[in-house]
């Protein structure tokens, strides 16, 4: 005896009737397969079969041997008032990137870190750029050394030390941007099918970058004091990730600053579970007082840090860095040369 609840069959049939009435399924349209609709509505396949048979008996759909079920009947002419609203565009990290670059001047870009023009002009940036343009033209026509301009790497070393991060200038690779630094670091650290943990929420472009590297992404909740360490411990134990990709200092997009105790705990968990850490310190220039960095506590044993030199002066002035353990630098440089040859002089 069939003991399936009649309501499930009726609900399934009503779902199809509703799709037809709203013109989501037009005359002659093929209905979802039995397996597909069963999965969508979380019902058994036999429930879907019975619902389709009932609709066929009512003349709402017709069965075609070997092809499935199709919407029957001429139906009323479709009017604009009856039509479904246009579908929303698929919004993903790539969509956000495209629109951030092509939007109107007043287009809001939360998390982009672009300063108002009035702020930048007051900082003397134009004067500094004019001075740079008058620098040794002959030198600027040539490729710089593979690691990047040595005086700039020394400056990065000094700036990192101000945040408690000790990195010799030959542990630092200059990149065209922090985005390139992230890309090179991911290429170096990851292989396809690795698992990577990111914060939720996180910088939206992390997802695009990780998708390009063909890895599995797992998220951990973000709190005002940093990542939820209890959740992070569970994720590390369950998924055994290769990498934790996070932000140092000011978190993007929440603006949260990690508590020192949280940073200590995150690093301890990474050591216990043998997880590498990629720390994005792009917004360091906007932090009033430096908070504790993962790279500062770790000493570049398992942490790689990337950052930007130009967030405070303008998004179009592209310059970033990678700081890592000394033994990794030659391989990172090889990746940089393979993809860009060198930096702008």
> DSSP readout, 212-253?
HTT-EEEEEEEETTEE-HHHHHHHHHHH--SEEEEE-SS-TT
Euclidean distance between CA atoms 257 and 267, whole angstroms? 16
Q: Residue 294 sits in a domain of what CATH number?
A: 3.40.640.10
Model pTM above 0.95? no
Q: Residue 46 sits in a domain of what CATH number?
A: 1.10.10.10
Does 60 share its domain with 130? Answer: no
Residue 195, in any domain of the structure = yes
Task: Report which of residues 28 and 155 the model is more confident about.
Answer: 155
275 pLDDT exceeds 80?
yes
Does 201 share its domain with 258? Answer: yes
280 pLDDT exceeds 50?
yes
Does 214 share its domain with 315? Answer: yes
245 pLDDT exceeds 70?
yes
Residue 48 pLDDT? 92
**How large is the average pLDDT for residues 58-73?**
85
DSSP H or E stretch at residue 198: strand 195-200
pLDDT band at 259 (very low <50, low <70, confident <90, very high): very high
Q: Provide the mean pLDDT of the chain.
A: 84
CA 154 remoteness from chain centre: 31
Residue 7 pLDDT? 79
Does 220 share its domain with 285? Answer: yes
Does 307 share its domain with 237? Answer: yes
Total domains, the chain: 2
**How large is the average pLDDT for residues 87-116?**
60
> Would you tell me how many other CB atoms lie within 10 Å of the CB of residue 141?
8
| Token pair 């710089």 in the structure block, residue | 144
- Residue 205 belongs to what domain range? 119-340
41 pLDDT exceeds 60?
yes
- Sheet of 216-223: strand order equals 172-175, 320-323, 303-308, 276-280, 243-247, 195-200, 216-223, 226-227
Does 135 share its domain with 234? Answer: yes
91 pLDDT exceeds 60?
no
DSSP H or E stretch at residue 303: strand 303-308
DSSP calls for 22-86: TTSS-TTPBPPPHHHHHHHHT--HHHHHHHHHHHHHHTSEEEETTTEEEE-S--PPP-TTTSPPP
Residue 105 pLDDT? 57
Cβ 31 vs Cβ 16: under 8 Å: yes
Residue 341 pLDDT? 74
Euclidean distance between CA atoms 155 and 148, whole angstroms? 12
Lowest mean per-residue pLDDT among 70-84, 89-103, 148-162, 308-322? 70-84
pLDDT in tens, 179-219: 999 999 999 999 999 999 999 999 888 999 999 999 999 99
Residue 114, in any domain of the structure = no
Cβ 223 vs Cβ 256: under 8 Å: yes
Residue 84 pLDDT? 52
């Amino acid at each position: 005896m069939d003991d399936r609840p009649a309501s499930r069959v009726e609900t399934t049939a009503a779902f199809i009737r509703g799709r037809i009435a709203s013109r989501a399924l037009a005359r002659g349209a093929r209905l979802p397969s039995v397996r597909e609709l069963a999965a969508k509505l979380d019902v058994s396949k036999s429930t879907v079969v019975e619902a389709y048979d009932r609709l066929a008996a009512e003349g709402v759909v017709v069965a075609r041997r070997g092809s499935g079920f199709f919407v029957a009947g001429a139906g009323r002419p479709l009017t604009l008032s009856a039509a479904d609203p246009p579908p929303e565009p698929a919004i993903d990290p790539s969509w956000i990137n495209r629109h951030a670059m092509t939007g109107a001047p007043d287009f809001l870009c939360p998390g982009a870190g672009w300063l108002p023009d009035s702020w930048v002009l007051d900082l003397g940036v134009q004067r500094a750029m004019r001075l740079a343009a008058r620098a040794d033209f002959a030198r600027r026509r040539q490729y710089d050394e593979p690691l990047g301009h040595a005086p700039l790497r020394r400056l990065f070393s000094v700036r990192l030390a101000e945040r408690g991060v000790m990195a010799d200038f030959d542990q630092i690779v200059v990149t065209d941007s922090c985005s390139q630094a992230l890309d090179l670091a991911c290429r170096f650290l990851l292989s396809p099918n690795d698992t990577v943990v990111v914060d939720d929420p996180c910088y939206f472009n992390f997802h695009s970058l990780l998708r390009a590297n063909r890895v599995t992404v797992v998220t951990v909740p973000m709190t005002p004091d940093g990542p939820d360490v209890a959740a992070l411990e569970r994720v590390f134990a369950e998924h055994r990730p290769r990498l934790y990709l996070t932000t140092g200092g000011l978190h993007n997009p929440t603006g949260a600053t990690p508590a020192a105790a949280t940073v200590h705990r995150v690093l301890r968990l990474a050591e216990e579970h043998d997880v590498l850490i990629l720390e994005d310190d792009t917004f360091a220039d906007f932090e009033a007082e430096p908070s504790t960095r993962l790279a500062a506590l770790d000493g570049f044993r398992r942490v790689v840090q990337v950052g930007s030199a130009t967030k405070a002066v303008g998004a179009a002035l592209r310059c970033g860095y990678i700081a890592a353990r000394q033994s990794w630098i030659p391989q990172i440089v090889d990746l940089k040369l393979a993809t860009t040859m060198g930096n702008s002089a």
